[in-house]
Amino acid sequence: MERHVVHGRRRMLAVGSAMLAFACATPAAAQSAGQWKNGQHVYAKVCANCHDSGVGPVIKGRGLDPGHFQHVVRHGQKAMPAFRHTEIDDGALRQVAEMLSKSLPPGLHE
């Protein structure tokens, strides 16, 4: 019985995390394609809501390929929702992915 309770709590946590991630994503919908200044602007307005607040994993300074970031943003992964082209256009996504792939871990400055 205890095992079912733990599994149920994990499922509730996963669903809650997904809902929170979706709520964090809504500011992107207000920004139309071509309105992003650069990758840092996209990160500050969209990504940081979850990835700098402890909701999502730290994504800066991990040395991941830009293609990985682009794939996850377009298709989602676990609790992270997918973002449509109307929310983050391809050019802005490419910029934020390149910025993240070259970024230093939090706390280190260039």
Q: Does 107 map to a domain?
A: no
Task: Report whether pLDDT(15) > 50.
Answer: no
Q: Does 108 map to a domain?
A: no
Q: Does 70 map to a domain?
A: yes
Chain length of the chain: 110
Range of the domain at 81: 2-102
Q: What is the number of structural domains in the chain?
A: 1
Residue 62's CATH number: 1.10.760.10
Q: Does 109 map to a domain?
A: no
**What is the arithmetic mean of pLDDT over 4-21?**
51
35-61 per-position pLDDT tens digit:
899 999 999 999 999 999 999 999 999
Q: Does 49 map to a domain?
A: yes
Q: Does 110 map to a domain?
A: no
Which pLDDT value is given to residue 29? 46
Q: Does 72 map to a domain?
A: yes
